[in-house]
Structures are given as structure tokens and as C-alpha cells.
Structure 1
Amino acid sequence: MHAGQRYTLKEFLFWTRRDIYILVVLATIPTTLLFFFHWQWLAIPWVPIALVGTAAAFIVGFRNTQTYNRLWEARQIYGAIVNSSRAWGMLVKDGIGDPAKDPMPEEHRQMIYRHIAWLTALRYQLRENRAWENARSKPSYIEYGRLYRVEEWDTKLDDALKPYLSEEDLHFVLARKNRATHLISLQSAQLKTLKSQGHIDPLDHVELEQLLVNLYEQQGKCERLKNFPYPRQFATINQMFVRLFICLIPFGTLGEFSKLSDKLGSWIIWLAIPFSVIISWVFMAMEKIGESTENPFEGSANDVPVTAMSRTIEIDLREMLGELDLPPALTPVNNILM
């Protein structure tokens, strides 16, 4: 997530510079051919190109609306995880054991730390690469990605889980494919054991189990966004329309500036290049914004900051345990918060 006031023009140009180079070449070739070889047939009337541009604008607007909705839904889901996590810490601390006779601090610590391990496993699963994601495949995204750090790519899950789990739990979880799912099942199994031993009131047990069910629900929503991409047919037609329009723009601007060359001189035709690049860049940039927004957990600069939010939850939960040696909250690196 970009944590500054806005992307600067310098950042945006750095992100899109490879595309700008291509746009300059696309605009220069037909302009050069018309100027030196007098191929007047390259100057196409603007009306048919404008019709293609209208269709491209509609499909780009539709896509960007839907990809923003995916991003906002992901943020709402993780906001619900924050709330449920705090509720879990409160109910574990106050609902398990008797504060006067049997406070059970070790059980509290175990269950709260296991929840932090669930958050860790979940964010690692959400940062796994998928075939349709771009953060680790396209050069422009890879280059921009060097300005920030994605912890889930640089650190092994085993090392990230060790501080929060016992050896037995760690071996059990790492042997499973969906680690987050089985961490919640361990929580439920321990709740059942504590209830049978009389350490949890039946009503408190019901509340705690409902919280676990809610966490499963939020995890499932995250997995749905992660594993079901923005429909490929819409993404494909969006890219095709924009690229078609961008390829046609230089020929349309040639037609317009050719009309001015009789009055102002033949040199005016060279202005077709910068104007073609500017118009093309606008559509190309809108297309790239939609593309970079559609996968809210892929590890791009526009992601939901699940790592920072998980750290916030960890700090809150460990403070509930009375701990003082807490990890620092994550801060933006080059205005990017992961």
C-alpha cells in the first residue's frame, strides 16, 4: 500500500518508462515514413479511431471499478480479522481459567501465540505466487518491487512460525498443505480439552468456537480473492482494446497534423509524436493501474498491507498478555507499507 499523499510524477514515470519507450517508437515510425517518403495514406481519419477509443475507455473504466472493488473487499476482510483477533485475545484471557484460583497464564500464552502463528501462516499463503499475478513476472513490477521488501518472500515460513509454536505443533502444521486451517483446528481441539477439564464455562466455550468459525470464514474470503482472479476474458479484452487503440493513435494524430502542415509548414507533422505519446500514455497508465490493483495480496506496491496489519495485531495481543518486549510496528519503506 502506498502510504504517502500520492504517487509522484517521478515514481509514475519510473514505473511506466518501459511502456513510454514503446509508445515513442510506435509514434515515430509512421511520422518518419510520412515526412520523408510522403506516404499520405498513413494519415487515417480520426473518427474510426475515436470509436475504438470510446470502446477502450468503457472497458477500462469497468475493469478499474471492479479491481478497486476487489481491493476494497480485501481490506474489509482483513479489517474483520483485526477485530476478531482482538476479541479472541480478550475472550481467551478472561474466559479460560479462574483469575483468582487458576489463572492459567501458560494456556493463555499458548492460544494467543498460536493465533499469531495463524496470522503468519495466512499471510504467507496469501503471498504465494499465482500464474495470473504480475508482481514477480513483469519487468516494470519487479523493478519497482526493489524499492520495498516483502517479508514473506525473503523469510522461510518455518523460521517465521518457530517463535509462536511448540515443537509438536510446528511439526504438525508444517506437514499440512493449508497450514492456517490446521492451526485453527488445533485451537478448537485445545478448547474442547479445556472445557472437558472444567476450565471454560460452556457459554464462553460457545463464544470462542464461534470466533474460530468467524476466522475460518474470513480466511475463506481471503482465499477466494487469492485463488479466483479477475475474470481472464475481461482482462484480455481490456488489454486488446487498449493496445489496439494505442497502435492506431499515431495514425490518427498524423491525419490531424497533416491538415495543419499546409498552413504552418511541414515541420508541424513532428508534433504528432509527443501528442500521440501523451494520449497513448493516458490509456496505458489506466490499464496498468487496473492490472496492478486486481490482485490485492500478490506483493505489489498497491497491496493490502497484511504484514503491517498482522504486526499490529501481534502487538495488541502480546500487550494483553502483559508483555513489554514487543516488536516495533512496521513503517513504510519508500512510502510503501507491506
Structure 2
Amino acid sequence: MYTGNHYNIRVFLFWTRRDIYKLLLIGAIPTVLYKIFNWNWLTVPWVPIALVGTAAAFIVGFKNTQTYNRLWEARQIWGSIVNSSRTWGIQARDLGNVPADDRKCMIYRHIAWLTALRYQLREPRSWENTYKPYNMEFREKYYKIPEWETDLETALKPYLTDTEFSYVMQRKNRAAQIIAIQSGHLKNWREKGWIGEFTEIEMQRRLADLYDQQGRCERIKNFPYPRQFGSINLYFIWIFVVLLPFGLLHEFSKLGSNFIWLTIPFSVLVSWVFTSMEKVGESTENPFEGSANDIPIATLSRTIEIDLRDMLGEKDLPAPIVATNKILL
């Protein structure tokens, strides 16, 4: 998540500069052929190009709306996780006559669930964009992904017993198994008489809420923005970008011979607007992949951990995660 008022234009140009190089080439080739080699037949009437541009504008607008909806839904889910986690913390701390060590285990196990969940959400998918050259270059220069800097075993081990850690690490969906362990311990609490049946039911509801929130995250993670829409968005924009200089040649030729050279900067400018809109939508469609525009799940998890451990009265709390180059993950 970018925390500044807006991206600095220098940063944005760095991110999109590979496209700018392509656009310069696409604009320069027909202009040079027209002006230097007198290939006057290269001009194309503006009307068909404008129709393609209109279609491209509609489809890129549609995509950006839908990808923003995916991002906003993901943020709402994690807002619910924050609230459910705090509720779980006060229930585990205050309800029943449970020994302090068992309360602490229950809360630490919840932090383990947050840790396992965020690591699962950062696992790459074939349709994600984080390994595209311009995104890798941007990431290496401006930020790091916490889940890629520390392995899961190191991050998870402090919050589980040795037995639980060994069990969880052998499972595929580790986050789901941690909640299952929580449920088993609630049953054990009731059998020992530490909590009543009503308390167990209420706390089981919180676990059901967490399962629901995890499932909603997994739905966004494992189901991409439909590839057919993403494909036509890309095709339409680049068809327009390639045709644009030929239309501008036609228009600038009406102003005089020397005005032909204006085709290059204006075609780059107009094309850059469209390709940048496409890139912004692309960078928003997978809100857990590790881009600068992701939901800051590591930051939110750290905030929850601080709150829960503070409820236990601990003094040695972890520090909040701070933004690197105004980027939080």
C-alpha cells in the first residue's frame, strides 16, 4: 500500500519507462518513413482509429473498476480480520476460569494463524504480475516483501508449541489447521470445566468467522480477474497504440510539413495515458501478490499482534512496521 499523497512523477515514470521506450519507437518509425522516405501512403484517416480508441477506453475503464473492487473487497476482509482478532483476544483472555498459560497459548496460536495466512496469500500464482520485469525492477529499488525475506518456519515457530509446529508444517493449508487446533482446545477447555457450553459456542462462532474470512481471501487469491477480459483489454490498447501515429500523421500533415515531427511526442503522450491506465489496473487486480499497491497484510498482522500481546500485559512488544519509501506491505 502506498502511503503518500500520490506517486511522485519520477517514480511513476521509472515504473512505466519500458513502455515509453516502446512508444517512442512505435511513434518514430512511421514518422521517419513518412518524412524522410516520403512514404505518404502511411497516413490513416482518424475515424477508424478513434473508434478503436473509444473501445479501448471503455474496456480499460471497465477493468480498472473491477480490479479496484477486488482490492477494496480484500481490504474489507482484512478489516474484519482485525475486528474478529480483537474480539477473539478479549474472549480468550477474560471468559471462563482458564489458567493464564492456556489463555496465552490460545492468543499466540491466533497470531500463528495470521502468520500462516499471510504467507499463503503471498505464494505466487501463474497469472500474477509480480515477476514481470518492470515490477521486479520496481520492487528491488523501492521495497521488500516481508514474507519473502523470512521463511515461514522462522516466522511461525515462536507462536506454537513444538508438537503443534511439527503437525502444522506437515499440512498443506496450515492456516486452516491452526484454527482446527484452536477448536480442539476449546473443546478441551469445556471438558475440563474451565468454560461453559455457551462460552464455547460463542468462541466457536469467532473461529467460524475467521474461517469465513480466510475463505474469502483464498477466493480472491485463487480466482484471477477473468483472463478473457484482461486479454482483450491488452489487445485493444496495443492495437490503438500502434495505429495512433498513422492517424496523427494524417492530422499533422494538414498543418504543414514541419509539423509532422509533432507526431512522435503526441503519439507517445496519448499512448502512455492508455498503457499507464492498463498497468494501474494490472497492479490492482491481485491484492495479495506483493506489489506496492497490495493490501498491507504484514502491517495489519503486526498491528493485531501488538494489540493481542498488549491485552496479555506483555511489555516487550514488537515494533509497528514502518513504510519503506512510503510503501507498506
TM-score, structure 2 as length reference: 0.99
Gaps of 5+ in 1: 98-102
Q: Distance in 1 between matches of 2:196 and 2:187?
A: 11
Partner secondary structure for residue 82 of structure 2 = helix
Q: Is the CA contact 1:95–1:201 (under 8 Å) kept in the aligned structure 2?
A: no
Alpha-carbon deviations, 1:48-78, whole Å to 9, x = none? 0000000000000000000000000000000
Give the structure 2 partner of residue 240 of structure 1.
235
Give the structure 2 partner of residue 167 of structure 1.
162
Give the structure 1 partner of residue 204 of structure 2.
209
Q: Distance in 1 between matches of 2:156 and 2:12?
A: 37
Q: Distance in 2 between matches of 1:142 and 1:149?
A: 11
Partner secondary structure for residue 163 of structure 1 = helix
Q: Is the CA contact 1:31–1:269 (under 8 Å) kept in the aligned structure 2?
A: yes
Q: Distance in 2 between matches of 1:71 and 1:255?
A: 41
Q: Distance in 2 between matches of 1:46 and 1:2?
A: 39
Alpha-carbon deviations, 1:123-160, whole Å to 9, x = none? 0000000000011x211100111211111111110000
Q: Distance in 2 between matches of 1:60 and 1:187?
A: 45
Give the structure 1 partner of residue 322 of structure 2.
331
Give the structure 2 partner of residue 112 of structure 1.
107
1:151-190 aligned within 5 A: 151-190=146-185
- RMSD (CA atoms): 0.6
Q: How far 1:253 sits from its partner (Å)?
A: 0.7
Q: Distance in 2 between matches of 1:82 and 1:73?
A: 14
> What amino acid is aligned across from residue 290 of structure 2 in structure 1?
G
Give the structure 2 partner of residue 100 of structure 1.
none
Q: How far 1:96 sits from its partner (Å)?
A: 3.5
The match for 1:251 among 246, 252, 256 is 246
> What amino acid is aligned across from residue 136 of structure 2 in structure 1?
I
Q: Distance in 1 between matches of 2:112 and 2:3?
A: 26
Give the structure 2 partner of residue 292 of structure 1.
283
Give the structure 2 partner of residue 77 of structure 1.
77
Q: Distance in 1 between matches of 2:224 and 2:96?
A: 41
Give the structure 2 partner of residue 141 of structure 1.
135
Q: How far 1:267 sits from its partner (Å)?
A: 2.0
The match for 1:198 among 193, 197, 201 is 193
Q: Is the CA contact 1:188–1:212 (under 8 Å) kept in the aligned structure 2?
A: yes
**Runs of at least 4 residues off by over 2 Å:** none
Give the structure 1 partner of residue 302 of structure 2.
311
Partner secondary structure for residue 49 of structure 1 = helix
> What amino acid is aligned across from residue 143 of structure 1 in structure 2?
E
Alpha-carbon deviations, 1:210-246, whole Å to 9, x = none? 0000000000000000000000000000000001001
Distance 1:112 1:119, change over 3 A: same
Give the structure 2 partner of residue 127 of structure 1.
122
Q: Is the CA contact 1:96–1:108 (under 8 Å) kept in the aligned structure 2?
A: no
Give the structure 2 partner of residue 13 of structure 1.
13
Q: Distance in 1 between matches of 2:187 and 2:200?
A: 8
Q: Distance in 2 between matches of 1:11 and 1:42?
A: 36
Q: Is the CA contact 1:4–1:335 (under 8 Å) kept in the aligned structure 2?
A: yes
> What amino acid is aligned across from residue 162 of structure 1 in structure 2?
K
Q: Distance in 1 between matches of 2:10 and 2:162?
A: 49
Q: How far 1:203 sits from its partner (Å)?
A: 1.2
1:32-71 aligned within 5 A: 32-71=32-71
Q: How far 1:202 sits from its partner (Å)?
A: 1.3
Q: How far 1:41 sits from its partner (Å)?
A: 1.2
Q: Distance in 1 between matches of 2:323 and 2:108?
A: 25
> What amino acid is aligned across from residue 190 of structure 1 in structure 2?
H
> What amino acid is aligned across from residue 326 of structure 1 in structure 2?
L
Percent sequence identity over aligned pairs = 60
* Number of residues of Structure 1 aligned to a counterpart in Structure 2: 328
Partner secondary structure for residue 93 of structure 1 = helix
Q: Distance in 1 between matches of 2:206 and 2:274?
A: 45
Whether 1:267 aligns to 2:258 is yes
> What amino acid is aligned across from residue 308 of structure 2 in structure 1?
L
